[in-house]
Structure 1
């Protein structure tokens, strides 16, 4: 049997409480290119900008519809529904990306807060429409210079530590000169102990434990079996540098630098280390960069650091792997194979167990520079690291790409969230552009 790749792609959907879409009636609006041995099927469409996703323990797929709230997709096989049924869990127009489940709670992020609801997976409902605010004042003293979206990761308790909620935040601007300081509140990742008393209005963002600083926009987050936090990071977009690193103009055409990055934090040895932004970046295409090579660090000239400082691991933590410039990675997950009981078939190829999978949202320029795609990263499970090193441009392979790259970022897939189910099937959301959303863009998976 061929390995199966299960994807989810979507657009706009009316705000009804529940509705079924039979699998036999669904097709791609803009068919992607799939690599050999990878197949898929639409499971749902017409959602409102689907972003982050999370399976609960009853196999309901919870999805953040940005600007609407949280919905659940549940597989049905009845006379009335032979497909997936959408039901509303929480209707809140402020929720836009982050979602997590842990210790019986549903966590969701808005622009300025992280909220929590007591969640029942059997009834697919929350205990109250009024959430508990876990974190507030996201953005620190930077005022308005922070992104609307924040990724959430639940870190389970251990023998020595309580459970934590990990939260990321990036700047809205291209070059926030204060982002290298922990006191700036942006371009960093923090965590909050879930056993601590919660203040009336939630924990202030600046009171969280600093995990990493200078991560420009670490959107894709996941924890591996070695208790390492992996960060798929979006670097700056609008920059063009010559071989002396002098900025030509922020209005110049987007070129093929700097690289987006895959970084790592050892959660057993948190130092709050510096990861480069806004001083240092990583070369993807060394053409015109003098003696630099792919994966090497260089300094932006408007900062206090120089190339030597950026290349010193005592000052700047280098990435573990580089991604194509402007790929805009938004999620990362590891494939654990079949984890459920009485599974009838396997989702992805079992030889891929342990590998990493990353969603590329692609650039917003026209034509798109970074390809919207899903990629697979060969992984060394013994060392808890990618097989390739940071100097490689072939450290990952494409499994799905937009069918017509010249049409992007318009009518093409734009992957965001990733989730594996217990059968090893991979679900991918695509938030889509406005045009795609009115064009019956669809989720892809198997029932």
Structure 2
């Protein structure tokens, strides 16, 4: 029996070794630097601007590709850590309109994908990598050229709910001050209802509004819904250009999905009139006005500050123009991971990294106060942002795999990365 035991162990070790040796080495388009305890590699390249990223219940990756492709199905062999290989991949859905959002019901049977105007559903089979029974479930979400993505989420705490984000129609979309425009917000839809007939986006229940462009949102294990918002460009205050370091990029809380009485449910977060401070040093009379990091304040002139103080303030702030595009939580609730896509109107460039934010698992809230400037710790980043965006990876979406690693899409380098350490 002992001989058989050791023989079995040797065979298993050989299988693992061969699997690792068969895993192709893919050189990254641009190298990454990792914090102590973390490592990573390119899992797959040659994609077409990969954006949304989820895992199905069989451990396969589904990713949307903004470059006119649709949805790709990627089957893996996963030995843990960075010993992950692409076993096969194929086009699951061919549709050039698909540009970002993707979500799967917790039972793994219904897939949702979005375009600029529409959310569709399919019956999904993860074992065979097939879809059927396509339906239009949400419609009439077109914007006039700005903010084209429609992020989707089906919370595990309520699998009959689909959350759908829609951004603003311009940098400063003045009409979005009216909730009836159904822009700059997150809406709630009951899946059991939208499967019967298409619903216009404005008919959904408002989870939150006054959000300029909340591309990323996720669910804490306690059912709390969190989002990251991209602040305005070219900001001025009392005739001074303060856009280089203001406003902050926001991390917002929207209450637990099953708590309709939550004070955060349906809250206004300030946009388009109000934004949150990052750098007080460039804001005229900041000390006299009692402005600090995270304080909602008015664009243009300070006469609107009193109204802004009544708006829902962010729970945390990040540097201006770093463009957070997703937020995903560790399964034990102790940390959130945020990919910062990176700036386009800031010198030197900023962002282009994945950061970790510590959470209190018991309260479901960040450990750092809302005034913190150090809440985000970088775990993966470009060594020299001066070369960005042209010679950098640009993180877009992240997702935890079944063995605890973090996976990331980089849309400008057309890659998917796997990152290990600190999660498993």
Q: TM-score range by the shorter chain?
A: 0.7 to 0.9
Pick closer, same or farther for the CA change 1:218–1:74 going to 2, 3 Å: same
Equivalent residues of 1:328, 1:370 under 8 A apart: no
Equivalent residues of 2:407, 2:416 under 8 A apart: no
- Is structure 2 residue 179 aligned with structure 1 residue 205? no
How far residue 423 of structure 1 moved from its aligned partner, in angstroms, is 1.6
Identify the residue that residue 11 of structure 1 maps to in structure 2: none
Identify the residue that residue 342 of structure 2 maps to in structure 1: 362
Distance across 2 between alignment mates of 1:298 and 1:205: 29
Q: Which one scores higher on RCO, CA 8 angstroms, separation ≥ 6?
A: 1
Consecutive unaligned residues in structure 1, runs of 5 or more: 1-20, 338-352
Identify the residue that residue 125 of structure 1 maps to in structure 2: 130
Moved over 4 A (4+): 197-200
1:48-447 residue pairs with structure 2 within 5 A? 48-66=48-66, 67-76=68-77, 83-102=86-105, 103=107, 104-128=109-133, 131-139=134-142, 144=144, 147-156=147-156, 163-196=160-193, 198=195, 200=197, 202-239=198-235, 241=236, 245-248=237-240, 254-266=243-255, 267=257, 268=259, 269=261, 271-289=265-283, 290-291=286-287, 292-301=291-300, 306-311=304-309, 315-336=310-331, 354-365=334-345, 367=347, 369-432=349-412, 436=413, 443-445=417-419
Q: Name the stretch that deviates more: 385-394 or 221-230.
A: 221-230
Distance across 2 between alignment mates of 1:65 and 1:227: 29
Equivalent residues of 1:146, 1:169 under 8 A apart: no
Distance across 2 between alignment mates of 1:82 and 1:376: 25
Consecutive unaligned residues in structure 2, runs of 5 or more: 1-20, 79-83
TM-score with structure 1 setting the length? 0.80
Equivalent residues of 1:419, 1:428 under 8 A apart: yes
Distance across 2 between alignment mates of 1:69 and 1:445: 25
| 1:269-301 deviation digits (Å, cap 9, x = unpaired) | 354110010111111111122212212221123
Give the aligned CA root-mean-square deviation in angstroms: 2.3
Distance across 1 between alignment mates of 2:362 and 2:112: 32
Equivalent residues of 2:138, 2:194 under 8 A apart: no
How far residue 22 of structure 1 moved from its aligned partner, in angstroms, is 5.8
Pick closer, same or farther for the CA change 1:85–1:247 going to 2, 3 Å: farther
- The 3-state SS of whatever aligns with 1:330 is coil
| 1:40-91 deviation digits (Å, cap 9, x = unpaired) | 12211111001011100000011111121111121149xxx96442211111
Identify the residue that residue 33 of structure 1 maps to in structure 2: 33
Pick closer, same or farther for the CA change 1:182–1:212 going to 2, 3 Å: same
Equivalent residues of 1:220, 1:329 under 8 A apart: yes
Distance across 1 between alignment mates of 2:419 and 2:223: 30
Equivalent residues of 1:22, 1:83 under 8 A apart: no
How far residue 204 of structure 1 moved from its aligned partner, in angstroms, is 0.5
